[in-house]
Structure 1
Amino acid sequence: MEALARMLEGYLPEEQIAQVRRAAAFAKNVHDGQRRQSGEPYVYHPLAVARILAEMRLDHTTLIAAILHDVIEDTGISRDQIATEFGADVAALVDGVSKIAKIEGRTRAEMQAESFRKLLLAMTHDLRVILVKLADRLHNMRTLGHTTTDKRRRIARETLDIYAPIAQRLGIYFIRTELEDLAFANLYPRRYAVMVQSVKSQLGDTRKLIREVEQKLSTTLREEGIGASVVGREKNVYGIYQKMRRKKLKLLKVTDLLGFRVIVNKVDDAYRALGVAHHVYKPVPGEFDDYIANQKSNGYQSLHTSCVGPGGLKIEIQIRTRDMHHVAESGIAAHWQYKLGERDSQSAPQVRAREWVSGLLDEFGATSAMDFVDNVKVDLFPDEVYVFTPRGEIRRLQRGATPVDFAYAVHSELGDHCVAARLDGQLEPLNTHLRNGQTVEVITSKHARPNAAWLNFVKTAKARAAVRGYLRTQREDEAVRLGKRLLEIAMRELGVPSSALKDDERLQPVLAAHQFRDVEELYAAIGVGERLAALVARHFLPEGEAAGIAGGVAPLAIEGTEGLVLDYARCCHPLPGDEIRGHISTGRGIVVHRLDCKHAKARPQDWVPLAWSDSVQGDFLTEIRMKTVRKRGMLAKITAEIAAAESSIENVQMPDRAGSEAIEMRFVITVRSRVHLARVLRRLRRIDGVERVIRA
């Protein structure tokens, strides 16, 4: 803590450093007795995470959240307790980083996917949550040597697939490169060792070579009246390895192993410095990129050029202003370096990051957690290609994108009906890879529809999701037709006329029993095998007498903090204030159900009467269902309101209704009671565009 405090003295006031100290003492107390696999006290880890963020000069709220980031997950401390001690902002950040609680029947991969989606939901409210998560992942990667080989490989693979690309997307260069190299070393240790040794052998004494180029560029720039600093470096090992794989090169053919950054005062100086660099060292034809005029999606701006350096060695030179350099190194974190403590995160990288996250959630929130992660992975490709519409507008796509990806980037309708494309006036097939500077014209037909074969070559997540959504809708239509036929046959065998399906009085109880909104959903469920037609058909027969409720026994008072084996049913999510009863379940003890739950009717001998204690406490899960208009940013508004109502989101689902103007959403949230739930529902109903909010 003292080492961390010395770092903070350089940019935080003493009263804020005192709050960070208090958080460290709190974390030390609640983590007391816990140790990492290395044997060191567990509190060393959160303090190390805070130090990484302090190196980025993050505000004290983020540092406190970093110190407490494992408290909810690994101790008995709740979000409410953190909010009471350190404020709502810190509690929201800690909750956003915390993994969701284990759900019975879910695999490790599914739980990780759900936790990742929860993390992105938290990002829509406060982007600092991802900074804490990246710092957490970086320190875990630095100390991965104490875990088993299988665990090291699994974490390293996840880091390369998700967290390093996210750091790249958010423009945080130093975290991205270190994550890549650490993950590479743990995933392929022999390859890493060979690469390190080979690079060292090829470059020889790099310090002398780097110093020579730095001095020559600095001197020439100064003679031309351009104030600049020049810094050289070896490129990261994983970046070199990826280039070898991408271009199918041997290491001896990879010549640009050194990179140099020229930092100037203003944009005009950047272009003048480019001319100086090309005068000093001969430029390599075709290897120049202007990311100042065409900045990347994460806000990165710089001039890139490759030149032939001393001894014929190719070097890469990046030229940018000091402000551009701050963004290039720290990305979205650069905002808090300048405006410590402010909440108006309107810097260019922050705005782009929010748009990216909101776009992902709006586009793919309807998918399962596993599909959501797959779509995010596709969207995280760092390489980009710039093409033009026939009107001269620039479109930025992933490298390897095709005319189909371009069409969906312009408009979903254009993508759905495209049949061919003209690239620079030449007719080309839809699977052609686009190149920088091409003008793309999409040819459409009103009778054309997405093709399953497109999934073999489309690159962007938006195009892939659109094609899959269309194909899923087609399958649902087929399932509805099949399910209707199966149900009519089953009803005929029981002597129930098919006209019962049109009798609302007989149909509605059946739909309610199976929790379907309409008969189409019922047909679809039968068609895909989720319901058995014979069992559904029996619901149309006259009902038997309902089983009685056991009585005469004093109800057991539930306080919410029982030490006995007690669980809360996920079919009805009982809350304090509901009438309840308990089911005696082997292996689970007493499972609490609402009295009106459909599962609380059968076998009275297995049930015990329950009641809520007057002193009940704790957070309870409940499910709410919403219907909203389909418009961008709606999910972000809803999650912000839920957080403002002192509730947290444990799960969210948006069943895909392709073509519908409305969106159905299902949230599992935490509340303290029915009264607290009512307050949450009132806030949600006030959101413009929300048509209906109910408790499930």
Structure 2
Amino acid sequence: MTTLNQAGSITPPGSPPAPGAASPRARTGFRVPQRGRDRMAAPAAQPAVAPLLAVLRAVSPGRDETELLRGYEVAERLHRGQLRKSGAPYITHPLAVTIILAELGMDTATLVAALLHDTVEDTPYTLGQLRSDFGEEVAVLVDGVTKLDGERWGDQAEAETFRKIVLAAAADLRVLVIKLADRLHNLRTLGFQPEHKRGRYAKASQELLVPFAERLGIHMLKREMDDLAFAARDPDAHLAADRAVRSALRAAEPAFGPALGLLRPALAEQGITGRFSIRPRHLYAVHREREGDLAGLRPCDAARLLLLVDGGERDCYVALGAVHSALHPIPGRVKDFIALPKFNMYQSLHTRVISPDGDLLDVIIRSRAMHPVAEYGIVAHIREAGTGAATAERRDLVWLSRLLAWQSDAPSAAFLDSLRADLAPGDVAVFTPSGEVVALPAGATALDLAYALGPETGDLCIGALVNGRLTALSAELRSGNVVEVLTEPGGGPSEDWLRFAVTAPARVHIRRSLDRRLAEEAAAAGRRELLQALAGHQVDLLAAEAHGDSLRIARELGHAEVDHMYAALATGVLDLDDLLARFTGR
């Protein structure tokens, strides 16, 4: 397949004019080719777009290319005169992003949106013009990935941009897929950025975008993004991991040979057919698992065996039994992601066995039908079911529903930290007494489960029964635990809960409840203070409230509610003498 590195070196024909403040249409005399009848009048493809068309024809043969060529012409003309940090024409970036998405097999609307994804942000082209030229579907996708204006939003711009992407992804997951491809290409070209920016950009990528790729199950993107960010954050460790893994993989085939020699007849004896392959692990995963100690890295540490079974779920379980009959299994190391799929719809059986040479060997078993989703996640569903899956499949992504449930309550200052916590790696699956499966991040507690079941359950919880035994709310949960949350009317969160709440929903709702309680207490204190002061002036506060005088005064002072005015008095924001003067008319 064509790679982005190749695309990044492409130079569009023609000398770019100097950029100016005028509209690109006025500057170039350019009229966007119209849709419908004018499609056939779209110009022939420029040489620069040839790599994209080659990928499109290889992955999606027979697809109409007219709209894609029109999108490229518009993007190239709008970005003409703009340069990347590398000195390459800017169009090489949206073109490269589109090639990534074409390699994934994304639909035409997504590819056109990828070509145009920076036009509204970086050129005078407006969203309204784009909508008129390319239609509502493309406009929604471009709007979803367009950053908010930094001058207008200030320090809140990054957090609110991510909130915007999350909300757009809730309506159409293709927005997030475009954003991931955009970030992947920026990571591939990160070497052209100043050194002080590389580490910060890579860190943000690993904390936010890589987890999003994993949550959508797009492991093809996730693995490369992880390794590129790793290289930028710690070049020496990345180089060491690369050398160690390459060295180990050179001996992979002879190292795995004896195990395969036992596995193949064991599977044949059970009537199971399929294909084994040696799957290298990505560098960052090896580095993290070994905690940087790569001395003596063996082929079994650098790669795993993948078995694609010809058959369904039942055949996968039969294959697991055959693997365990041929090679001694390690107790407690079987993970069944078929019966309990991961949060990103991933399905496979994982097991660890002892090879004939005494090495610990990881084996992954899945059916051929499961394989596309295991590699491409939501993209596989979109390709199979059409663009409607980009909306429909989000119902199966519990993590997205959970994120949407708390994001509106998180202020900008706390949103990114909460998002990082919510996207943290790890996957714990616990059961409620009714049999409902709830996915939580590693380290989650019974309190986190309570809030995962709903804010009301969380606020009223007082303890939990884990596998029938009474435990504290701070008890850390393990996969397979059956947990019943105990509640009590009139209960409420305490400041202490923030010490062991792990998930973003729990932390956001606890802070919100505590802030609401503090505001209520401040309002009550302010009202008492004003009541006592007005009593000395023979003014009845209760009557003033009943007649609407208190609300009128509150709004004159800029407070939407009377309680807000009382709280401002209690906290010293309002002066008591000034407030008395308004109530007494003095």
- Alignment TM-score, normalising by the size of structure 1: 0.70
Preserved CA contact (<8 Å) 1:100 1:111: yes
* Other-structure match for 2:364: 318
**Aligned partner of residue 395 in structure 1, secondary structure:** strand
String of CA shifts for 1:6-54, please: whole Å, max 9, x gaps: 1112354767312111111111100000000010000000010001101
After TM superposition, the structure 1 = structure 2 runs for residues 184-333 of structure 1, keeping only pairs within 5 Å, are: 184-200=230-246, 205-209=251-255, 217=263, 221=267, 224-245=270-291, 256-265=301-310, 266-309=312-355, 311-333=357-379
Deviation at 1:536? 5.8
**1:335 alignment counterpart:** 381
Q: CA deviation at 1:516?
A: 3.1
Equivalent positions of 1:380-399 (< 5 A) are: 380-399=423-442
Greater Cα offset, 250-259 or 429-438: 250-259
Pairing 1:435–2:478 present: yes
Relative to structure 2, which stretch is displaced further, 275-284 or 438-447?
438-447
Q: Of the candidates 219, 226, 248, which is equivalent to residue 180 of structure 1?
A: 226
1:258-657 aligned within 5 A? 258-265=303-310, 266-309=312-355, 311-340=357-386, 342-345=387-390, 349-353=393-397, 356-446=399-489, 448-484=491-527, 499=541, 501-502=544-545, 504=547, 506-528=549-571
| Range with bigger deviation, 205-214 or 436-445 | 205-214
Q: Which letter does structure 2 place at the counterpart of 1:476? A: A
**Which deviates more, 460-469 or 154-163?**
460-469
Per-residue CA deviation, residues 510-550 of structure 1 (Å, 9 max, x unaligned), is 3333443321122234445665666666666879xxxxxxx
Matched to 1:317, the amino acid is V
1:45-124 superposed matches below 5 A? 45-104=93-152, 106-107=154-155, 110-124=156-170
Q: Which residue is 2:174 aligned to?
A: 128
| Structure 2 residue identity aligned to 1:306 | R
Asked if structure 2 preserves the Cα contact closer than 8 Å seen for 1:218 and 1:229, the reply is no
Within 2, Cα distance between the matches of 1:496 and 1:196? 82
Count of residues in Structure 1 that have an aligned counterpart in Structure 2: 535
Partner of 1:169: 215
Q: Any idea what SS the aligned residue of 1:438 has? A: coil
Gaps (5+ residues) in structure 1?
544-696
Q: Deviations over 1:477-506 (max 9, x none)?
A: 12213444666799899x895749537464
- Alpha-carbon distance in 1 for matches of 2:538, 2:99: 71
Distance 1:57 1:434, change over 3 A: same
Separation of aligned partners in 2, 1:487 and 1:368 = 31
**Over residues 376-405 of structure 1, what are the superposed CA-to-partner deviations in whole Å (9 max), with x where a residue is unaligned?**
222223422233334454433222222222
Cα deviations across residues 455-481 of structure 1 (Å, max 9, x unaligned)? 111222222223222211221112213
- What amino acid maps onto 1:309 in structure 2? S
Helix, strand or coil for the counterpart of 2:554?
Answer: helix
Alpha-carbon distance between aligned partners in 1 of 2:286 and 2:55, rounded to the nearest angstrom: 33
Query: Equivalents in 1 of 2:172, 2:314: separation in Å?
Result: 35
- Structure 1 pair 22/477, CA: closer, same or farther in 2 (3 Å)? same
Amino acid at match of 2:407: F
Partner Cα separation in structure 1 for residue 186 and residue 127 of structure 2: 23
| Distance across 2 between alignment mates of 1:212 and 1:22 | 55
Q: Which of 183, 198, 203 does residue 152 from structure 1 map onto?
A: 198
- TM-aligned CA distance change 1:475 to 1:310, over 3 Å: same
Counterparts in 2 of 1:147 and 1:377: CA distance versus 1, 3 Å: same
Cα distance in 2 for partners of 1:141, 1:409 equals: 34
Would you say the 8 A contact 1:214–1:232 is kept in 2? no
Higher helix share: 2
RMSD (Å), alpha carbons: 3.1
Alpha-carbon distance between aligned partners in 2 of 1:479 and 1:217, rounded to the nearest angstrom: 70
1:84-137, Cα deviation, whole Å (9 max, x unpaired): 111111011001100011244722xx2100000011111122111000000000
d(CA) in 2 for partners of 1:100, 1:198 = 43
Structure 2 stretches lacking a partner, 5+ long: 1-48
| Aligned twin of 1:645 | none
- Quickly say closer, same or farther: Cα 1:235–1:530, change in 2 above 3 A: farther
Q: State how far apart, in whole Å, the 2-side matches of 1:530 and 1:79 are.
A: 43
Q: SS in structure 2 opposite 1:287?
A: coil
Separation of aligned partners in 1, 2:138 and 2:390? 17
User: Could you say if the C-alpha distance between residues 505 and 423 of structure 1 is closer, same or farther in structure 2, counting changes exceeding 3 Å?
Assistant: closer
What amino acid is the match of 1:428?
Answer: T
Task: After TM superposition, give the deviation of residue 260 of structure 1 in Å.
Answer: 1.9
Partner AA of 1:165 in structure 2: P
Query: Residues 156-183 of structure 1: CA distance to partner in whole angstroms, max 9, x if unpaired?
Result: 1111111111111111111111111111
Q: Kindly tell me: are residues 343 and 421 of structure 1, through their superposed partners in 2, closer, same or farther at Cα, counting changes over 3 Å?
A: closer
- Cα pair 2:57 2:63 within 8 Å, conserved: no
Contact 1:335 1:350 (C-alpha < 8 Å) held by counterparts: no
Give the deviation of 1:303 after TM superposition.
0.4
Cα offset, 1:263, TM superposition: 1.2
Deviates more, 1:421-430 or 1:324-333: 421-430
Shift, 1:184, TM fit: 1.4
Distance of aligned partners of 1:219 and 1:135 in 2 relative to their CA distance in 1, 3 Å threshold:
farther
Shift of 1:366: 2.2
Change in Cα spacing, 1:501 to 1:403, as seen in structure 2 (3 Å) is same
* Paired residues of 1:52 and 1:135 also in contact (CA < 8 A): yes
Q: CA deviation at 1:253?
A: 8.9
State the SS of the aligned residue for 2:65: helix
Using the TM superposition, give the Cα deviation of residue 269 of structure 1 relative to its aligned residue in structure 2, in angstroms: 1.8
Instruction: State the 1:191 CA deviation.
Output: 2.5
CA distance in 2, matches of 1:19, 1:31: 18
Q: CA separation in 2, counterparts of 1:528 and 1:512? A: 18
- The answer to whether the 8 A contact 1:218-1:228 is kept is no
| CA pair 436-366 structure 1, distance change in 2 beyond 3 A | closer
Q: Distance in 2 between matches of 1:19 and 1:383?
A: 41
Separation (CA, whole Å) in 1 of partners of 2:264 and 2:83: 50
Distance 1:398 1:88 in 2: 37
**Partner residue in 1 for 2:84:** 36
**Kept after mapping to 1: 8 A contact 2:59/2:103:** no
Alignment partners' CA distance in 2, 1:369 and 1:190: 35
| Residues 214, 222 of structure 2: 8 Å contact kept | yes
Shift of 1:311: 3.0
SS at match of 1:38: coil
Structure 1 CA distance for aligned equivalents of residues 575 and 92 of structure 2: 55
Given that 2:381 and 2:389 are in contact with CA atoms closer than 8 Å, whether structure 1 keeps it comes out as no
Q: Structure 2 CA distance, aligned partners of 1:368 and 1:36?
A: 34
- Give me the whole-angstrom Cα distance separating, in 2, the residues matched to 1:369 and 1:212: 56
SS in structure 1 at match of 2:370:
helix
SS in 1 for 2:479: coil
| Identity percentage of aligned residues | 36
Q: Supply the distance in 1 between the matched residues of 2:297 and 2:257 (Cα, whole angstroms).
A: 24
Alpha-carbon distance change, 250 to 4 in structure 1, aligned in 2, over 3 angstroms: closer
Say whether residues 1:139 and 2:182 are aligned partners.
no
Q: Matched residue of 1:422: which SS?
A: strand
Does residue 10 of the first structure (1) align with residue 58 of the second (2)?
yes
